[in-house]
Structure 1
């Protein structure tokens, strides 16, 4: 099986610096694998909240994660900073496939690359709904082919 090439910063559209914390490291001296998913969640939600595309407290539409994955290519460790890169691989009617890379400090090659898919649903019924116009407009600049 051939692994895809490691992504670079040029492959991503939005970036967020993340400060690692002492508790992010595990007994092996690197950021624990589950923390990577927290970083993924952080860059996506930071992007949406700052663009008023998602009202996490009172909005009628919420995103539910239905799929996630991560490829680990190099270790990250406290106290080094991490930069999260974000792009959208697929913008559907009610779903979005977010693609995220984590870079060690200013490195150009991704240390890890992941994805997760949000299905946007009605907060009360949990049934899929079309992406609200503000959300779609915020995500369109992140779409890559």
Structure 2
């Protein structure tokens, strides 16, 4: 499946010197961090900051259940890249993100994958349903059948 750039959201992210490995390319484990930077930036801009002092923090208490990634073209420089992400599935307690790490001009797909998150109740650490307000905020990112490519 390919995903058009018009769906989901594209968030610029910074590649820092410490993201590079001994060969001068972004270390494979840092792609997880690039997705984190993109998601954190997006949700903070939309009023859902990952800050325990903020009112929404308990509602966005998510843990990663699954993460998969396929690498295509190494990133070999510091500077700006982009992460294109969308929601492939929105469940009662979980959300499945699809994502691509792109060059700054969006012309190169460096990596792509998916991440499954589960919302937990902060007190019990058990899966807990998302609030209607959170579900409404996620809705613009949800991939619909009409957006599927070939």
Bin of the TM-score, shorter chain as denominator length: 0.7 to 0.9
Structure 1 residue 114: Cα displacement:
1.7
Structure 1 residue 108: Cα displacement:
2.8
2:127 maps to what in 1? 128
**Counterparts of 1:109 and 1:79 in 2: how far apart (Å)?**
15
Which structure 2 residues correspond to residues 72-83 of structure 1 after superposition, within 5 A?
72-83=71-82
Structure 1 residue 8: Cα displacement:
5.1
1:21 maps to what in 2? 16
The number of aligned residues is 140
**Counterparts of 2:79 and 2:42 in 1: how far apart (Å)?**
22
Contact 1:97 1:118 in 2 (8 A): yes
Secondary structure in structure 2 of the residue aligned to 1:141:
helix
Contact 1:9 1:110 in 2 (8 A): no
Secondary structure in structure 2 of the residue aligned to 1:75:
coil
**Counterparts of 1:82 and 1:56 in 2: how far apart (Å)?**
25
2:58 maps to what in 1? 60
Correspondence 1:34 to 2:29: yes
Q: Of residues 39, 46, 49 in structure 1, which corresponds to 2:44? A: 49
Normalised by the length of structure 1, the TM-score is 0.86
Which structure 2 residues correspond to residues 107-126 of structure 1 after superposition, within 5 A?
107-126=106-125
Please list the CA deviations of residues 74-123 of structure 1 after superposition, one character each: whole Å capped at 9, or x if unmatched: 11122242111110000000000011111012033421112111100111
Structure 1 residue 138: Cα displacement:
1.2
Normalised by the length of structure 2, the TM-score is 0.84
Structure 1 residue 64: Cα displacement:
0.7
For structure 1, the residue ranges without an aligned partner over 5 or more in a row are none
User: Is 55-64 or 70-79 further displaced after alignment?
Assistant: 55-64
For structure 2, the residue ranges without an aligned partner over 5 or more in a row are 145-150
